[in-house]
Amino acid sequence: MESARNEALEAWMKEHRYSSNSLARAVNSELEALTGKLGTYDGRHVREWRSGRVRWPNTATRKVLADLSGKSPVDLGFVPRRRISPAAAPQEDPMYRRTLVAGAVTTAIAAAAPGTTPTRKIGMSDVGRLQQKFTEVIASDHKRGGQRDIEHLAGHLADTALNLQNSGIATQRVRSSLYATAASFRSSAMWAAIDGRRFKDAIAHMREAQALAELSGDQAIKFRIWSHAGTLYRHMGRPADARAANDVARNLHITRRDPMFASLGMARQMAIQGVSHELRSLPRTFDQAREAMNHASTDTPRPVWLLAFWDDAELHSLALSAYLAAGDWTTAEYHAHQCLASLRPHMQRSRAIATSRLAQAQLAQGDTDTATHTAMTVKPEAATQHPRVSRMLQEFGAALRATAPGSTNVRTWTEHTAAWRAHP
């Protein structure tokens, strides 16, 4: 007998924009949090769920899918192997589900004892495990920024941190750290949406991240969220809102405690000045950002998201963006070369963006040969899969055709981009 397709699961995946592969990754991550061992699912397994070939996954997987979706396995279209009474189905009982999250046999035994209530103490070790996942999200962002699966995973992990709040008792320090961790994940979902030019989604993430940051009282994550908000509004063509949001970040007292935060806030202000065509302000703002960076102590503990990207290369990258927007092509090219010369190897997304901007600056100066060669060095995966890079290269191609119609460079570029489409 042919298996009936799991239309409920398919509908939920479509609604939440999960592919088979991205759902498999999310399930694997949650299984690791649940059992201590990373799951081994891939897209093939998810397709078996969707097709109905696998009608009732194992207990841990059903638990993870229920947490991911907020639905019971039956509501997700899965069919139990045999009909059982509610009293005999502990995996669907909320008390049982909390013990499964804890992953502790002793808690499960306590829950089964008459007249007892399971109580789990949440500690900084639980926070630490979530923060390790945050480090992995940051690494994925620098490698493949803007992808929906990064956004979805970060959003899901934010929910995981919040769910942990309700799974036991904790000190105020632990609870504040959990809120800060949830805000960190939500801000990464926001950034992935910004980088993918999904601005409506980014705004939704921003609002939730701001509320979580307030609950945490963490100045560093507040800075990140408001600084990202400035970038969001800048990309949306709203420089006044961008400046206001970035000013909130720059006025937090963490910028007075740590010049590294002040430096980043000033550099992003420079990018906003570029969009506003405040060309005369740019050299002074750049110098202020660099001076603050030079004054920052190397011994000060800082969050992983800041350490992972903020350095001299990123300062030049923001200067490149500012001068390109302001129309100073020569200075933009200078900052592009400085950025590319000092980028750390893991900054693959940033290298593709800086290279694309360099090609635009060279083309604007009339050097079509060099500009075409530069644009062709962008790796195909970034050119075709990163929304911001793809858009910049499309704009480059249009400008190249307008600048040198019918030229050898136009034909070369056309053939090059056709090869990208033929070999995604």
Q: Is residue 170 within 8 Å of residue 120, measured between CB atoms?
A: no
Tell me how far apart the alpha carbons of residues 266 and 161 are, in angstroms, rounded to a whole number: 32
Q: What's residue 299's pLDDT?
A: 85
3-state secondary structure of 169: strand
- Judge whether 316 lies within some domain: no
Query: Residue 112: what pLDDT?
Result: 32
Residue 355, in any domain of the structure: no
> What's the confidence (pLDDT) of residue 55?
87
Segments in 36-171 forming alpha helices (H): 43-51, 59-69, 94-102, 105-112, 124-144, 148-165
Question: Residues of the chain whose pLDDT is less than 50?
Answer: 1, 83-118
How far is Cα 403 from Cα 413, in angstroms, rounded to an integer? Answer: 13
- For residue 76, being part of any structural domain is answered with yes
Q: What is the pLDDT of residue 127?
A: 86
Cβ neighbors of 272 (< 8 A, separation 6 or more) are: 230, 234, 239, 242, 243, 246
Phi then psi for residue 300, to 5 deg, are: -75, 130
The answer to whether residue 28 is domain-embedded is yes
pLDDT of 111: 32
- What sign has the CA pseudo-torsion 242, 16, 176, 139? negative
pLDDT of residue 22: 80
Residue 70 within any structural domain of the chain? yes
Q: Say how many residues make up the chain.
A: 424
Residue 283 resides in a domain: no
* Confidence at residue 189, expressed as pLDDT on a 0 to 100 scale: 92
Neighbours of 109 (CB within 10 A): 12
Is 193:387 a contact under the CB 8 Å cutoff? no
Residue 214 lies in a domain: no
420 lies in a domain? no
User: Which residues span the domain enclosing 61?
Assistant: 7-83
Q: How far apart are CA 179 and CA 211, in angstroms?
A: 9
Q: Answer for the pair 179, 131: CB distance below 8 angstroms, yes or no.
A: no
User: For residue 271, what are its two tokens?
Assistant: 């990018």
Chain centroid, CA 407 distance in Å: 40
CB of 93 closer than 8 Å to CB of 85? no
Specify the number of domains making up the chain.
1
| Contact of 165 with 175, CB cutoff 8 Å | yes
